[in-house]
Chains A and B, each alone.
Chain A
């Protein structure tokens, strides 16, 4: 049987030829021919998802610029992981930068480095995450290098040009080069890790000789020498005082210092005042100036003793505080002599002699309705009411809606100190009222205090002194520790003599006001552990209402008279 294809097979070619005109055949032949030629071109199939190179390959792409550092990476054995998937930041010194560094080490080429040396150099240049120049601040970069030391970012200005700088050693020439596995920044010099410990760094500076000796005598010298492998314990921050600074305070030698402060004769004792002097200059953790000003207070080596800090213009000040209405001028940190990185911390220098301030616990009569934001509104402050929206009071936070400043010689403020108060709506499980509010107290000296909340009792609905209507029970806590007795803003004081009331935890805090709604409630005793501003929180635990009229919160040392002074509407304190 003849197949259909047979008629077209090569054997029948001549027969078929006869059926087709010659010209048509040529046409077809040429079409087939051109198709054949077209088919010849190889199809390029892209098998990679990106043409971006990774870090190491990028360096090898520009041997005239980066070959030396690439060789360092080779020596360290890091070439492969820097060419693999990941997210890194690498600071790449140019060839000139590497050469200058090698010269310092008396080597002529990167091949001569030992593997360990190469690793150390490579590690200080690599961070295990991506950082653009946006994360450069005045202090350390937010992430630590593989070497285990932070790099100090910053900006330097030389010859009319500003550039990002690292460790005050190198300038960034080209920034934010994105490669497949991270970001490169090109720098002009090789970074060198800090080699000195805090102790060694202080000792190496003859201007700090008195302070060095104090460190040695008190034993802190030895602890500041150690580079703890545990990163969480490694870092300290030391604020030194130079011989000149001490000299200005009349301390010309270590002996004078010892004579002035050491009360036990043994500076190694933690209770010795010289020991405390040194301990007060050591802050746990790594804190560059930028970190110091970012937080209002810092713990020191003295348990629970803090230094406070602030930025005034461009000046970094320590212990610049208003205490009981008196401004205490702070101690300036010298920007030029500060921010020195060492293997286990950072070293700053103070411009003046300072010691830990031992203050006796002092009563604080915190007028809650007097804060900077209301003082800035002269049309309202002690003139008329004003509602503060969330986030509009700097040191306070609450959950929702507004809290109100209330003023008036009549109404609820007829019997309050300065004729004003703060109305804080609180409630439990209410969609329109905050459940809690947190406020920063004024500076409170460490010690034991009784806490009184003085308010103008009011029921938003119902009658005071009766059981019906609004009820609002509020728990107050200081630094997260609840005070034992809650306050019920809808309750007024019971009747009784001052002594009877005090024994029940009540007092009449206004002078010559006998109305029971102008009352103070004892919330309990609190142990303030650090001399600092603390967080006070009010939290509704039952009921709720808007008219919680807070006038004063008092912290009165436990051994003092709890009933005086009393207050007047015109703003006087009557002892």
Chain B
């Protein structure tokens, strides 16, 4: 009797074990492809590269659930908020959120979700993945050439450099992660690197990328929407400008100006060609949104309209000719801002009067355009005491835009600081709401060991609410306050990170 029972149970066990084995021991995920099945063909490298660009266009994950709120804003929403909230060109509306208001009031705490850098590090990780794994494809796919591998790696390194450049300017010291995190075992708790270390890495990446990045992909959309050698040069110029290496800025800018491939769009076509159609002759690198992937600016600028343009923009940045309303700055009313109500027009208008419909919020995000190259060049010239040449370049920009005479500061060409100040004002006119204003002000202020702190303090005195003005000025006297805090979630999960001392 007992023996029989034993036999039966053994048989049953034997039946169960082999079936369950399959699930027990095979750890392949069922909803994705693993690394050893991927990275085999050149098409997969291309897919990896497309993934990087897709991640730069990816939407925000700001739904109300706790988990996804960690995901934070999309890349360009972050870039817009980081570049504009602390500057002087936005004003609040009744749809402005508390977290926006805190930053505008110079009241940032580490719990503010806008300081979440996760989206940017995600993109960096996608870049790291291509840089780490694409070389192995050469062995598996004989049709994949060394040349195209180099080109892909150059693209990935440039995007990584661009992302780190945003991080270094926004947070100061940030952790430098240069290896891909592709499995859970590779998740590391890494400490911060100094801003200088990050900048050195950026320079190194760009120098490696430059010779391999293609000059063209054969069609306009790719030439403007993917990294070309000119993008590398543009980024080099920007980075060197930040590092106060002005001779290198000129070298980088000249590579672009001498290519003869870019120019300024003149006259009434300007707004339509550059901002409405996109991919213009003026563009060097832009993020291309379309109806499948909207830029998410609709709630910011249209409805419920989180931000409007500060009255300062029309009153002082562009100004108006009250005697002759036909004279106006091409970049000002009905281009950057709707003068009648302060609506941010750069991303909202189809022409001078018509607003985009919600499904047409597809305006591209300008990363670099030719006007930027010229003004970076002018800034470097000014600071190399070549004021007259610098003013010549600024004049080109102003003439193209029909800038009003009222905004011509007419600085003495031999006074490099005055010329630089004029260029800073011109940049405000040229790149209004393109996420550059704060970085421009910070770059000019911090020059020569913060010799021009007055620029920053003057700006915050203007931008801060009256009852917080004096506090805001006192805060900005501390250099550390110019960089955002590390988001508290990152501090909790990475114990090696140390908060910026200003946010003690």
Contacts and interface: CB of A to CB of B under 8 A. Distances in A.
Given A136-B471, A157-B477, A161-B478, A376 B325 contact: no
Nearest to A157: B477
B323 to A, nearest CB: 8
A62 to B, nearest CB: 16
A480 interface: no
Interface string B86-106: 000000011000000010000
A335 B473 CA distance: 14
A314 interface: yes
Interface in A176-208: 176
Interface string A355-390: 000000000000000000001111110010010010
A313 B458 CA distance: 9
Contacts of A313: 461-462
Interface in B295-335: 311, 314-315, 320-323, 325
Contact of B467 (A134, A294, A376, A378): A294
Contact of B468 (A137, A157, A378): A137
Interface in B454-499: 461-462, 466-481
Contact of B469 (A133, A314, A379): A314
Interface stretch (A148-156, A246-254, A470-478): A148-156
Contact of A380 (B340, B470, B471, B504): B340
B469 A138 contact: yes
A391 interface: yes
Contacts, number: 90
B341 interface: yes
Given A314-B461, A378-B320, A138 B481 contact: no
A312 to B, nearest CB: 10
B107 interface: yes
**SS class, residues of chain B in contact with chain A:** helix
A293 interface: yes
A500 interface: no
B466 A377 contact: no
Given A376-B320, A392-B341, A162 B477 contact: yes
B83 to A, nearest CB: 23
A41 B377 CA distance: 74
B360 to A, nearest CB: 21
Nearest to B108: A134
B261 to A, nearest CB: 37
A139 B320 CA distance: 37
Contact of B481 (A162, A176, A380): A162
Nearest to A394: B311
A464 interface: no
Given A137-B468, A155-B475, A376 B315 contact: yes
Contacts of A156: 474
B474 A157 contact: yes
Nearest to A132: B109
A174 B472 CA distance: 19
B479 A175 contact: no
A231 interface: no
Contacts of A157: 474, 477-478
A428 B479 CA distance: 57
A162 B475 contact: yes
A386 B466 contact: no
Contact of A176 (B2, B109, B480): B109
Given A133-B109, A380-B340, A311 B466 contact: yes
B107 A134 contact: yes
B203 interface: no
Chain A CB within 10 A, most for which of B341, B476, B502: B341
Contact of B502 (A162, A290, A392): A162
Contacts of A134: 102, 107, 109
B467 A139 contact: yes
Contact of A175 (B323, B480, B504): B504
B339 interface: yes
Given A134-B102, A294-B467, A173 B475 contact: no
Contacts of B501: 161
B461 A138 contact: no
Nearest to B98: A134
Contacts of B320: 376, 378
Nearest to B478: A162
Given A157-B478, A376-B315, A391 B471 contact: no
A291 interface: yes
A160 interface: yes
What are the 4 closest A-B residue pairs judged by CB atoms, nearest first? A162-B478, A155-B474, A290-B467, A157-B477
15 contacts: A134-B107, A137-B468, A138-B468, A138-B471, A157-B477, A157-B478, A161-B501, A162-B475, A163-B504, A314-B469, A376-B311, A376-B339, A377-B339, A389-B341, A391-B94
